Amino acid sequence: MNFNDIYTVPAWPRRILSVWYRHERVYNSNFISNAFPPFLEPLIMLLGLGIGFGAYIQTMGAMNYLLFLASGIVMTSSMYTAAFECTYGTFIRLEFDAVYDGMLGAPLSTDDLIIGEILFAGTKGAFFALAVMIVTWLFGIITYPWSVMAVAVGFICGLMFGSVSMWITSFTKNINHFNFYFSGILSPMFFFSGAVFPLDNLPQAVRWAAQVIPLTHVVTLARAFCVPGQLKPQLIFNLLYCLIFILIAGWLALRGIKRRLID
Amino acid sequence: MSDFAISINNLHKSYGKLKAVDNLDFQVRPAECFGLLGPNGAGKTTTMKVLYGKCEPDAQPVSAIDIYGYHPPKDALTIKSFSGIVPQQDNLDTELNVEDNLYIYSRFYGLPAGEARKRIAELLDFMELQEKARVKIRELSGGMQRRLTIARALLNRPRLLILDEPTTGLDPQVRHLIWSKLRELKESGVTVLLTTHYMDEAFQICDRIIIMDKGKKMLEGVPRALMKDNLETYVMEIYGMGQETAPSKAAEEYPEIRCERYDDTLFAYSNMQEPLVHFAEHLKVSDYHIRQANLEDLFLKVTGRSLNELQ
């Protein structure tokens, strides 16, 4: 029987967008409680570390310490929100609320679900970066006009940690196991990515290791847009790293979650 | 293109060593209400999931599945575009209200906003939820959530409606409402496939059923005819029989009576009431109850009275 005149499957960009729209609606249904913390966190961080440490450390390398810190936590904020979304958030949708089971009753594929969700993690990454930027602009910590681009880097950061977290979720059986990911992988990354202190004076081996972890590359990119005189052609390699990382982690996530959703 | 809405042949699905569905065949005609019955673990839900690509059948032996000329899992998206799926567990977005839940879902079908709003109003009306449009899911009763999940599956005006235990855990009023809505849909030409382990549900709305057990088809047919062909008209239940063997022996004297026992209850089946009464007098018991045999008795006869390891 030919139903093509009456029933159509939307093209894949629309399907992915409809998944993104679902997440956006649910996130914004709690607008106040979801939109406030992204502003509060950098404020506490900058006040605490800035005033506390700042009394002893005025400069970090050749840079004002507050500027150094602010241009780093733009990315850690994006990283954590994307990681939370695609670990705890994804796990709850997968196992407890069975949200995906409901969505898979509509003409969506598992790939649509996962790509839409990673895009949403990117959007959250951009939003959290924007929140940090607004705080730093208001306090006059960052004044460089190119710093608006840090929001775009936040999007890339969100895609990276959204996809890798989703892959981790695809083989996590117990929600408590995410503790290992957060304490064992993301916390060290927070410190050894150059976000809160420079990597230059660390032992050679640690510096090499820092180049392998994804956060280092987005921090380098974000800082280049926030601090005058750091935009150099070799940043293209950092960007390339990010894109390749997203493709590989995204592919692993697609494969892993599909295996989990389709019996 | 066959004359059937759904045609399933040699369906096999294993999870490791467990054969969830074992060589299943059945056909569903357009605008028919077809029921899959069976205890938990019989393979009903797995069968449903295969139809819309949520579950992939075994690679070997090859299963043949045809849904209006389309074949899952390859054509799963197309099949879902003309089907409505009601999963066993309600999975609405609890943070959102009724209307938003339906609106978000309408986007998955690519419905234009205006058309979606119109359709949502129609469906809330149809499922008698119009007053709840702005209420959050958390504040809805179980029956309302179930009706909303069904309404959600109707957004695309489906040709085929697949429901996995549509009325499990609901009170009688809601069950009757859902049955009457399903009948209405069937009359308008929608093919309905549902799973249930409620025998009255099968009797109320199914044109034809199959009874499954351990992944296999045990019986197939029209509910009333199945009972007539496979079961006596009356059943007598005698309670508190303990482990005595005397009654079973006594029954041998009554060739028109068939006995089954479960724990300390004896079930005696016959096409006539009289021999049952005589039998009860013979046993000198007073605590007995004679009633018409129903689909549940047939179900238990076919699938066994005791629990299996999957229940």
Judgement on whether residues B39 and B131 belong to the same structural domain of the protein:
yes
The predicted pLDDT at position B58 comes to: 93
Judgement on whether residues B65 and B189 belong to the same structural domain of the protein:
yes
**Residue A175 within a domain:** yes
CA distance A83 to B33: 46
Tell if the CB–CB gap between A8 and B55 is shorter than 8 Å: no
Tell if the CB–CB gap between B96 and A26 is shorter than 8 Å: yes
Residues of chain A positioned with their CB less than 8 A from the CB of B189 = none
Provide the ipTM.
0.90
**Which of A12, A14, A22 best probes binding to B when mutated, by most B CB atoms within 10 angstroms?**
A22
Judgement on whether residues B11 and B119 belong to the same structural domain of the protein:
yes
A60: containing domain: 12-261
Q: Averaged over B242-271, what is the pLDDT? A: 77
Minimal Cα distance from A116: which residue of B?
B108
pLDDT score of A73 more than 70: yes
Beta-carbon-side half-sphere exposure of residue A3 (alpha carbons within 13 Å): 22
Domain boundary among B179, B194, B227: B227
Say if residues B68 and B81 touch (Cβ distance below 8 Å).
Answer: no
* Tokens, residue B238: 């005698």
> Sheet harboring B18-28: ordered strands across?
B18-28, B6-15, B64-67
CA distance A4 to B271: 53
pLDDT score of B45 more than 60: yes
The predicted pLDDT at position B305 comes to: 67
Tell if the CB–CB gap between A263 and B87 is shorter than 8 Å: no
Cβ count within 10 A of residue A192: 19
Q: Averaged over B182-197, what is the pLDDT? A: 94
Please state the domain count of chain B: 2
pLDDT score of A134 more than 90: yes
CA distance A80 to A181: 11
The predicted pLDDT at position A74 comes to: 94
Higher-confidence residue of A250 and B277: namely: A250
**Residue A6 within a domain:** no
Q: Contacts from B296-301 at CB under 8 Å and sequence distance 24+?
A: B296/B199, B297/B231, B297/B235, B297/B267, B297/B269, B298/B199, B298/B211, B298/B219, B298/B226, B298/B227, B298/B230, B298/B231, B299/B37, B299/B197, B299/B199, B299/B211, B301/B230, B301/B231, B301/B260
**Residue A55 within a domain:** yes
Phi-psi label, residue B79: left if phi above 0, alpha if psi -120 to 50, beta otherwise: alpha
- The neighbouring-strand residues paired with B86 are B163
Tell if the CB–CB gap between B108 and A107 is shorter than 8 Å: yes
Top-confidence range, A15-24, B8-17, B38-47, B261-270? A15-24
Please state the domain count of chain A: 1
Residues of chain B positioned with their CB less than 8 A from the CB of A27 = none
The predicted pLDDT at position A11 comes to: 93
- How many angstroms separate the Cα of B133 from the Cα of each of A24, A178, B3, B136? 20, 37, 40, 9
pTM here is 0.89
pLDDT score of B77 more than 90: yes
Candidate from A6, A9, A29 with C-beta closest to B96: A29
B248: containing domain: 232-292
CATH code assigned at B204:
3.40.50.300
CA distance B276 to B289: 10
Residues of chain A positioned with their CB less than 8 A from the CB of B100 = 25, 29
pLDDT band at residue A2 using 50, 70 and 90 as cut-offs: low
Minimal Cα distance from B85: which residue of A?
A105
**Residue A192 within a domain:** yes
Residues of chain A positioned with their CB less than 8 A from the CB of B52 = 104-105
Tell if the CB–CB gap between B55 and A262 is shorter than 8 Å: yes
Q: Averaged over A51-72, what is the pLDDT? A: 84
Judgement on whether residues B194 and B236 belong to the same structural domain of the protein:
no
**Residue A4 within a domain:** no
Q: Does residue B290 belong to the interface with chain A, where contact is any CB pair within 8 Å?
A: no
Tell if the CB–CB gap between A263 and B54 is shorter than 8 Å: yes
